[in-house]
Each structure stands twice: as structure tokens, then as C-alpha cells.
Amino acid sequence: MRAWLAQRVEGVPAAAVVALAAALAVYPLVATQPFWRHVVIMSMLYGAMGVAWNILGGLAGQVSFGHALYFGVGAYTAAYCYKFLGLAPLLSLPIALAISAAAAVLVGLPTFRLRGHYFVLASVFIMEGIHVVVSNWDRVGAAIGLEYPVYKASGFVDALWHGQFQTKLPYYYIALALLALALVAFRAIQRSPFGMFLVAIREEQDAAQSLGVNVARCKLYALIASAAITTLCGMFYAQYVLYVEPTSTISLLISLEICFVAILGGIGTLWGPVLGAAVIVPLTELLRAYLSGRIALDMSGLAGGGIGAWLEYYARGGGGNLDILAYGLVIMLIARYRPAGVLGFFRRID
């Protein structure tokens, strides 16, 4: 037992991993306030998406800024199937995964030939294009989005089937399971021959190709795996907030948040996204809770009040968006001072 606990999982002792898992399992029993549970739920959700992004971005070195697309596929499929087809999340799951895989193939086939900025921009444009389509598509609620019909469950099994709970506790453990699933999948891929092919592609694509690695197929499989986990997270998100709309699912900001979690903690590492999410998500959730609550104050009547009125207006939060302001500042500071992420595992991606 002792020897087992001293083993290292990607540089972290197994004992520490067990301790982390135990701490996460016990946390919601100690922290009973909904907000503090919510903060860790979102951290685990983004941690899982960061780990998923890392399969493609970290192992294979393909920097995608379009992962919000797969998040949106999960969120919209869950919401649409529940609202219009009456399908429970477990029944819409295979549909969502099928759409996600199809989307991954459609995105991957034309774009994986591209390198550097051309690939990054292609991933952005495809995602933005889908955003435009969804924002104008009345069947899926267009720009307003889809609101879930609230379901009053009788008993836990019924609630589980409908994926709607009265408290945050069940959501918490589902998010924890998603994070565990993402980590297990990443580790399995990383240690398999397939994972080594991906690393070979990242380090030297042409050399890998000349040694017989099927570059196009490996990248595609990595994207399908990465997209599948991101889609699961999207489904969870929809069931959690019971409301989906284009800007909070399929947007550049969400894409950026997913990939920033992985980059902040150290790109291409198993634990990097977990650390990144643990740092940035609570920070943004706290900023959001304390700063963006004061949005869009009334400006009328200020003109006559002179400088003092304006200063008071800004002191009370101005036009809002202070949370995004701080988030942008953090991103710039990290890029400026710690370009290899907080863990500092330097990984060059070209």
C-alpha cells in the first residue's frame, strides 16, 4: 500500500491524488452554501473541458479556438431533445455524441491540413459561423435561446432520469465524475501508442508522417475524443443552468476560457488543466459575483451633477463588465510574465 501511494502519476504522488479526490468528495458536505458549491462545480466543469482540450491541443499540438462549438452541441442537443422531443438526458446522450463526432469530422477534415495561425483562424471562423446560424435559427430559439421546462421530480431516481435536481449536491458529484472521466481518458490516451503518435505529430509532423504515422487520422481521432468530452460537459451545463443561448455556449469567449484553463496550468500535461481551472475559475466566478452584479446603472441625470456624480457612478460599478476587465488583465499578465503557464512546463507549439 505504502509503495503504491509513493508512486507518481505524472509527477504527482498517488497519495496526493487520493487526497485531492477525497477532499473534492467531502467538500460539498462541508461547504453547504450554494455559491461555494457552484464555484467548485464550475471549476471541475472547466477542468474537465481543459483536460479534453489538452488531448488535441496539448498532445497533438493543434491549437483549437473553436471548442465552444462542441460545448454548444452538447448544451443545445440536451435542451432541444428534452424540450421538444421529451427525451431524458441519458437518451439524448447518444444523439449528442453522434452530432459531436460528425461535427468533429466535418471540422477536422478541411482544417487539419492547415498550420499555425491558419488553423487557429479556421477554428474560430467555423465556430463563429455556427454561432451566426444558431442565433438566427428559430427552431432552436434564435438569439433568445431555449429555456427548460422545470420538472418537479418525485424521488431521487426520477430526478436523476430528468437530470433536474433541487439542490446543487447531485450536480456537484456529476461534475466530479466528468472531471474524473476526462482525466482517465487523457491518461489512457497519453500512455497508449496512439498518444505517442500524437506527441510525435506535435514535435515534428513531417518526421512522424515519414515514419508511417497516419497524421490526418490521428488528429481526427484526437479531435473526436476531445469533442466528445466537451459535448458531455455542454450537456451537463444545460441541465445545470436549465437555459441555453448562443453567447453563453457557442462563443469565442467560451472557447478562450476552455483553452486558457489548459494553457494556464501547463499545456500538454495531465494535471495542468486541473490546476489552471482551480486558479482561474474561482477567480472569475468571484469577480462575476462581486463586480458584474452592478451592471448598467442609469446614466441620466449625471450630466448636471459634475465630476462628483461621475466619480460616484464609476465607484458604483459604471457600465459593468469589471469581471471581464479583470479577466483580460489576468490573461495579458500571464502571457507577459508566465507564457508557459503557472506550472511552467514549457511546451513549444508551432
Partner 1 sequence: MIYGQVLVDGLIVGLMFALVAMGLSLIYGVMNIVNFAHGEFMMLAMYFCFFMWALLGLDPLLSTPLAAALMYFVGVGVYRLLIRHVLQATMVAQIFATFGLLLFIQAVANFLWKSDARTIPVSWSTGHFQFAGLFFNGPELVAAAGALFTAGALYWFINRTETGLALQAVAEDAQAARLMGIDSDRMFAIAWGVSCAAVAIGGGLLSTYYAITPLSGARWALPAFVAVAIGGFGSISGAFFGGLIIGVVQTAGGFFTSPNYKQLFVFALYLAIVFWRPYGLLGRR
Pairwise CA distance, residues 70 & 225, whole Å: 11
Q: In the complex with partner 1, which residue's Cβ is closer, 142 or 242?
A: 142
Minimum distance of partner 1 from residue 66's CB (angstroms): 11
Sign of CA dihedral 349, 8, 257, 222: positive
Q: In the complex with partner 1, which residue's Cβ is closer, 124 or 216?
A: 124
**Binding test (CB under 8 A) with partner 1, winner from 113, 147, 192, 309:** 113
Pairwise CA distance, residues 341 & 350, whole Å: 16
Q: Of 69-77, 178-186, 241-249, 312-320, which segment contacts partner 1 by CB under 8 A? A: 312-320
Asked if 74 and 89 touch (Cβ cutoff 8 Å), the reply is: no
Does 256 interact with partner 1 (rule: CB under 8 A)?
Answer: yes
Does 63 interact with partner 1 (rule: CB under 8 A)?
Answer: yes
**Binding test (CB under 8 A) with partner 1, winner from 20, 153, 177, 349:** 349
Pairwise CA distance, residues 307 & 273, whole Å: 45
Minimum distance of partner 1 from residue 258's CB (angstroms): 13
Does 32 interact with partner 1 (rule: CB under 8 A)?
Answer: no
Pairwise CA distance, residues 101 & 226, whole Å: 10
∠ CA(173), CA(174), CA(178), 5° rounding? Answer: 115
H helices of the chain, in order, are 2-6, 14-30, 34-54, 68-84, 89-111, 116-135, 156-162, 169-191, 193-203, 205-210, 215-241, 246-249, 252-265, 272-291, 306-315, 322-337
∠ CA(42), CA(329), CA(274), 5° rounding? Answer: 30
Does 260 interact with partner 1 (rule: CB under 8 A)?
Answer: yes
Minimum distance of partner 1 from residue 318's CB (angstroms): 4
Minimum distance of partner 1 from residue 52's CB (angstroms): 17
**Binding test (CB under 8 A) with partner 1, winner from 136, 192, 214, 247:** 136
Q: Are strands 243-244 and 146-147 parallel, antiparallel or unpaired?
A: antiparallel
Q: In the complex with partner 1, which residue's Cβ is closer, 181 or 291?
A: 291
Does 296 interact with partner 1 (rule: CB under 8 A)?
Answer: yes
Minimum distance of partner 1 from residue 266's CB (angstroms): 12
Q: Of 1-9, 37-45, 73-81, 119-127, which segment contacts partner 1 by CB under 8 A? A: 119-127
Query: What residue ranges bind partner 1 (CB under 8 A)?
Result: 63, 65, 110-111, 113-118, 120-122, 124-126, 128-129, 132-133, 135-136, 253, 256, 260, 263, 267, 296, 299, 314, 318-322, 324-325, 327-336, 339-340, 347-350
